[in-house]
Structure 1
Amino acid sequence: MYPLTINHWLTQHAQFRPNHLAFVFGDIRLTFADLNQSVNRMANALLIAGIGKGDKVATVLPNSRELYEAFWAVAKLGAVLVPMSPLLRGNGLINLLNDADSTVVLTDTAHAPFLDEVRSELTIPAKNYWLTDGEQPGWQSYAVLWRTASPADPPSPDLLGDDLYNIMYSSGTTGTPKGIMHSHFVRSMYGSLFANAFRIKPESAIMHSGAIVFNGAMLTFMPAMFIGCTYILLKEFTTQSVIRTIASEGVTHTILVPTQIASCLHYPEFTIDTLPTIEYILSVGAPLLNEQKEVLISRFPDTFYELYGLTEGFITVLDKTVSAEKTGSVGRPIWFSEMKIVDDDGHERPTGEVGEIIGRAPFLMAGYYKKPALTNEALRNGWLYTGDLGYVDQDGYLFLAGRKKDLIISGGVNVYPKDIEEIIIRHPAVAEVAVFGIPHDDWGETPVAAIRLTTTISITELTDWANKNIEARYQKIAAVMLVDEFPKNVAGKILKNELRERYWKR
């Protein structure tokens, strides 16, 4: 059987479409021929340093040309990429770099000091600290290594689809970050299945403004290379750069998280009339509240997709053809995937009833790196237990109810924070809201709403308005806590545990 691996994708595009624009980053514009030669130099530099099949190559880099090329250089060698968040510090760096058994690490001058601080605790060989944008004592100059390496294709490793390609560390919302293992086959499925689901073509122009160290970026990153279209990477997200780049590059596809969508909607030029090339806007990372979803769909008809998924490998997609009529849903499983809603005993729940979402798909992780017990807990008989709550309607579309651990049980009744958040966000003074439970002497738990405002309003007025619009008595909020900014992890998800701690410390 022919192995489904990704190590030859770039080589093939360089052979058959050498002059097509492949990669844009700021002023850098590379054709597939240019990109292939540059990636080959990185791969050969790693090869000279002793990196081969199965060796772990870690990065601590923001969005950059070097980070982008590392994904494809490592693929050509059969090595394993471990992209780390550049926001990691101290023990976070020590724990993850050592847990991954990293052999080499690439970083830049802005982040090198944080690695220098913990070098004595790391197991990486001293000669394998590479600096991508300068020269410093104790660091290898990547620019020198790259210039002296060959631009020819490195020797092809003997790879199978099950061979490990990357380890993505979880954001840690549920405890210590875990190394999620993805094989070449899994990334092949990302490339082919999501190119299909998102209608990506060789003529498409994909823009990404979030950090590509997170798995959500792979939803278009892998299809872009699989199909061979143009991939435009921004250094970081700003509303102005997103709108400007869509216009100047003729962007057809882009991913935005809900907070970015909310920011863009403040700009009247963020509309299909001003940005006519857009065919696809995907919301990922957290549920997009229905009010914001409706505004986005009105501005960009027939372009909005929403996705629910885990790095561990189960994903549903709400297609643009049904996004207007299924605005509360996050879609359905894509091809070759299955989903069930189950109770605590694993029995399937009826249509319309809330339970835990479990799924199986051809892009499930191989497991958590060096954590077999946690792997066995998450993967049971081929099904991924997500820890998320939801229900399906009569058409089989998934509706989220929140994290299982965020469920509030008030007076014996299940209260789903998202139901309350959907109501409170409708108030014109509310910019963001997160609902969590606190202990209550009579009811067991009761809901509290943390709110970020757009304008001044009294807590009493806001609480009264919310409880007037919340119909069910057990859903009514006991208190409102105003915050200037929400605590979020590196993936942009609101940390409700921290909000709960803040509430008690007031």
Structure 2
Amino acid sequence: MSTFYDVAEAHPDRLAVLAPDGRSATFGELAARANRLTHALRRLGLREGDGVVAIVHNGLPYFELLFATLQAGMYFTPVNYRSSAEEIAYVVENSGARVVVADADIARECSLDVPRFSVGAADGWEDYASWGENESSTPPEPRTAGQTMLYTSGTTGRPKGVRRALSGKPPSLHAIHRDLLAMMDVHPGPGVHLVACPLYHAAPGSFAVNAMHLGHSAVLMDKFDAEETLRLVERHRVTGTHLVPTMFHRMLRLPEDVRARYDLSSLTSVIHGAAPCPPEVKERMIDWLGPVVHEYYGASEGLICGVTASDWLKAPGTVGRTLTGVRLKVVDEDGAELPDGEPGTLYFSSAHTALDYLGDPEKTAAARSGEFLTVGDFGYRDAEGRVFLLDRRTDLILSGGVNIYPAEIEARLLSHPDVADAAVIGEPDDEWGQRVIAVVQPIPGVSGDDALAARLAEHCRAALAGFKTPKRFDFTEQLPRTESGKMLRRTLRKD
């Protein structure tokens, strides 16, 4: 089975990474640097099962460290570069990392008691660029598969490390990833994958590295810009990318003449997930780009479902059927399994869900039901086996004994031309239990006032039941989303 290391041996001169700063590396160059770093890590005393933390922007060091650890049986933990020094220290301690690598601006703010290397000059940190330069560029023997150990986004509390057992086998592309990519028209051979999201997030990092395992080149953006994305697709003849729904919104808001200016015909696979995508938005993306907009459903804990554009058009709103090797069940509050069509909490099981939340056995136990695991999502499966998400269980609003799903109301609000982003939350109500509140980010130039609130209420009433129409509209300049598109609802709730 092909991996990055096989591609580097067979096609050493093929472009592997083009970084935002213009630096680049071929597969052969990147593999040689990764080999030196593997030997350097072992010289520091790291062995299989040890961890490396990286707090770096999208660039070559991310992939150098990733491929160094993935062939040494080590855990690689990328961390959000916007994290505070306290948050970084927490992850380093919680993960038990033996080495930390950080960009210089981050390193200068951190005091850590482990071997540490800075990308750029920082007092008290060793130089990353020269680290390992005297080591051998030959591969380690034997190669043993490592793991990326990610931390949950912390949308509902303090992040927890998602740790899987090491296989002890040579590195490989996991079968569930290979099958998902094949379904979404991503195949071995030359190709160009555009990275428009931060690599430290689960999905962008995973899809980028898996594309490279298949032999594709990775073109990196430092931050997302709608028109720049189109320009890069045309310039580099990009074949695939991973985006999130908020990016779709921004791309669709570009003027028609701007969208028509770029040749996007090279795209064969635009993959999205991580956050709900309003059906209207997805339909517009498919109308624009063609039937290349594919979707997956999963979390840091594992992949669950996938659906191609053509299959989604047959059942708009579905996140697809379970992937090969994945079992799914829908259960009620008592843990009893529900029949098709009945909504409940989704639990899934696969070889990929053999994991623990590091240092938190209570969270691990609470998320499990035998072999099955849940991330708290609420939804149902139809008679054809297609899965539909309604919302996260923790986001569900219960008003007058009726379940209200924020995602449905948010999708309606986002279809209004004056809305840039929207979040719907429940607020305590003495009579009804909870009432529906919308927090709206207007587009630039539109005032968040009573007139806009009235227009939005009318817009909601035209398509939604009266009890789903928000009882109040609050306005903000910026809603709190992660770069992967997840809404940090806990920062909006006042109860």
Question: TM-score, normalization: structure 2?
Answer: 0.91
Question: 1:228-254, CA deviations, whole angstroms, 9 ceiling, x for partnerless residues?
Answer: 222222222222331121111111110
Contact kept, 8 Å, 1:318 with 1:332, in 2: the verdict is yes
SS at match of 1:93: helix
- Residues 270/181 of structure 1: CA separation in 2 closer, same or farther (3 Å cut): farther
**Other-structure match for 2:470:** 477
What fraction of aligned residue pairs are identical, expressed as a percent?
A: 26
- Residues 416/152 of structure 1: CA separation in 2 closer, same or farther (3 Å cut): same
Query: Structure 2 CA distance, aligned partners of 1:29 and 1:281?
Result: 24
Decide which of 316, 326, 329 is 1:337's aligned counterpart: 326
Contact kept, 8 Å, 2:9 with 2:28, in 1: the verdict is yes
- Residues 22/212 of structure 1: CA separation in 2 closer, same or farther (3 Å cut): same
Query: Structure 2 CA distance, aligned partners of 1:36 and 1:459?
Result: 55
**Other-structure match for 1:179:** 161
Decide which of 85, 91, 94 is 2:80's aligned counterpart: 85
Contact kept, 8 Å, 1:81 with 1:166, in 2: the verdict is yes
Query: Structure 1 CA distance, aligned partners of 2:193 and 2:164?
Result: 23
Look up the equivalent residue of 1:154 and give its one-letter code: P
**Other-structure match for 1:440:** 429
Does residue 110 of structure 2 align to residue 110 of structure 1?
Answer: no
1:61-460 superposed matches below 5 A: 61-116=56-111, 119=112, 124-125=113-114, 128-134=115-121, 136-156=122-142, 159=144, 165-183=147-165, 188-189=174-175, 191-201=177-187, 202-267=189-254, 268=256, 269-270=258-259, 274-454=263-443, 455-456=446-447, 458-460=451-453
Contact kept, 8 Å, 1:245 with 1:251, in 2: the verdict is yes
Offset at 1:197?
Answer: 2.7
SS at match of 2:133: helix
Q: Pairwise CA RMSD of aligned residues?
A: 2.3
Offset at 1:149?
Answer: 2.2
Query: Structure 2 CA distance, aligned partners of 1:234 and 1:471?
Result: 39
Offset at 1:489?
Answer: 3.7
Offset at 1:216?
Answer: 0.9
Contact kept, 8 Å, 1:195 with 1:227, in 2: the verdict is no
Unaligned runs of 5+ in 1: none
Contact kept, 8 Å, 1:171 with 1:491, in 2: the verdict is no
Q: How many residues align?
A: 483
Offset at 1:50?
Answer: 2.0
Query: Structure 1 CA distance, aligned partners of 2:423 and 2:453?
Result: 18
Offset at 1:154?
Answer: 2.5
Look up the equivalent residue of 1:462 and give its one-letter code: R
Look up the equivalent residue of 1:346 and give its one-letter code: G
- Residues 96/331 of structure 1: CA separation in 2 closer, same or farther (3 Å cut): same
SS at match of 1:145: coil
SS at match of 2:18: strand
Contact kept, 8 Å, 1:166 with 1:183, in 2: the verdict is no
Question: 1:167-198, CA deviations, whole angstroms, 9 ceiling, x for partnerless residues?
Answer: 10111012111000135559623542333232
SS at match of 2:34: helix
Unaligned runs of 5+ in 2: none
- Residues 472/228 of structure 1: CA separation in 2 closer, same or farther (3 Å cut): same
Query: Structure 1 CA distance, aligned partners of 2:309 and 2:239?
Result: 14
Does residue 461 of structure 2 align to residue 468 of structure 1?
Answer: yes
Question: 1:96-132, CA deviations, whole angstroms, 9 ceiling, x for partnerless residues?
Answer: 110011111001211112213xx3xxxx33xx11012
- Residues 464/47 of structure 1: CA separation in 2 closer, same or farther (3 Å cut): closer
Name the stretch that deviates more: 217-226 or 306-315.
217-226
Offset at 1:328?
Answer: 1.4
Offset at 1:343?
Answer: 0.8
Decide which of 8, 29, 37 is 1:14's aligned counterpart: 8
- Residues 112/273 of structure 1: CA separation in 2 closer, same or farther (3 Å cut): closer
